[in-house]
Amino acid sequence: MTGRTRPLLTLVSLIFVGFNGGVPTADPSGLNFIGTGAADADRLARSLGARSVITAPDAPPAGSWTWDWGSRIAACVEEITALPAAAKVIVCPWLAAAPAVPLIELDPTEWRRRVEWPTALWFEALVAGAGRCEDGGSLVVVVDRPSTLDAVGHSAAVAVADGIVNVVRSLAAREGGRGVRVNAVLSARHTSASGLLGSPPPLATFPGRIDVEVAGAVRLLLSEDAIGITGTAVSATSGRR
């Protein structure tokens, strides 16, 4: 792999960390969003008053059961743990949408690429991100999770999202002792509002805008008004279940 890519992690703090040849540099803006650089992640970052500066690593190459997992994930964790601690941390594992295919039709290599790799990567990223959250701080995870009605052909994405939410709950239990709140925001970026099964969503805004509904849910969970909320997944999908 040419150059080292890095995981999608957001820190909102009093110190801006940019990247110049991989070396953290100071910035007077006071806000930092470390994301994929993809359009959706960048849009979320900008709506939160920050910018996306790094990218998530690609999955190991296919063709073998001996994927190079360890070194790639270890490099990501190293980058995260080198970051300054922050009172507010956002991890946003938004991955590109994969073509719809029934889960039982995935071959072993595709299963690993769609399910095992992102689950392992974001498990490590979340644990490391929690470690960079200051005592009394807040960590918010933003993840795509198609609703049950809309999940046909996207069961792999649902499996990853549900795994991440379980990690969120586990981290909330572990980090609560030092006053850190850990919550998730569920989005549905890749679900089309046309041709939905069942009843229409309660709100006509479905699936929700990144800079409005999704960003708003993140701000809510990061705010002092959410001081008693932890281990919770908030669905910013206009009520679609």
Q: Is residue 76 part of a domain?
A: yes
Q: Assess whether pLDDT exceeds 50 at residue 13.
A: no
Q: Is residue 167 part of a domain?
A: yes
The pLDDT value recorded for residue 33 is 58
Contact criterion met (CB below 8 Å) for 41 and 143: no
Q: Which residues are CB-neighbours of 71 under 8 A, at least 6 positions away?
A: none
Q: Assess whether pLDDT exceeds 50 at residue 170.
A: yes
Q: Is residue 83 part of a domain?
A: yes
Q: Is residue 3 part of a domain?
A: no
| 3-state SS record for the chain | CCCCCCCCEEEECCCEEEEECCEEEEECCCCEEECCCCHHHHHHHHHCCCCCCCCCCCCCCCCCCCCCHHHHHHHHHHHHHCCCCEEEEEECCCCCCCCCCCHHHCCHHHHHHHHHHHHHHHHHHHHHHHHCEEEEEEEEEEEECCCHHHCCCCHHHHHHHHHHHHHHHHHHHHHHHHCCEEEEEEECCCCCCCCCCCCCCCCCCCCCCHHHHHHHHHHHHHCHHHCCCCCCEEECCCCCC
Q: Which residues are CB-neighbours of 116 under 8 A, at least 6 positions away?
A: none
Q: Is residue 219 part of a domain?
A: yes
Tell me what the mean pLDDT of segment 204-212 comes to.
Answer: 83
Select the more confidently predicted residue: 155 or 10. 155
pLDDT in tens, 93-115: 887 778 888 888 888 888 888 89
Amino acid at residue number 6: R
The Cα–Cα gap between 122 and 142 comes to 11
How many of the other CB atoms lie within 10 Å of CB of 216? 15
pLDDT band per the 50, 70, 90 thresholds, residue 141: very high
Contact criterion met (CB below 8 Å) for 46 and 61: no
Q: Assess whether pLDDT exceeds 90 at residue 182.
A: yes
Q: Assess whether pLDDT exceeds 80 at residue 142.
A: yes
pLDDT band per the 50, 70, 90 thresholds, residue 17: very low
Q: Which residues of 97-107 are buried (b: 16+ CB within 10 A; e: fewer)?
A: eeeeeeeeebe
Q: Which of 83-92, 110-119, 216-225 has the lowest mean pLDDT?
A: 83-92
Contact criterion met (CB below 8 Å) for 105 and 152: no
Select the more confidently predicted residue: 234 or 189. 234
Q: Is residue 4 part of a domain?
A: no
The length of the chain, given as a count of residues: 241
Tell me what the mean pLDDT of segment 141-151 comes to.
Answer: 85
Range of the domain at 161: 9-235
CATH number at residue 150: 3.40.50.720
Q: Is residue 2 part of a domain?
A: no
pLDDT band per the 50, 70, 90 thresholds, residue 228: very high
Structural domains of the chain, count: 1
- Per-residue tokens: 106: 């995935």
Q: Assess whether pLDDT exceeds 90 at residue 189.
A: no
Q: Assess whether pLDDT exceeds 90 at residue 86.
A: no
Q: Is residue 164 part of a domain?
A: yes
Q: Which of 37-51, 139-153, 157-171 has the lowest mean pLDDT?
A: 37-51
The Cα–Cα gap between 154 and 60 comes to 21
pLDDT band per the 50, 70, 90 thresholds, residue 64: low
pTM: 0.82
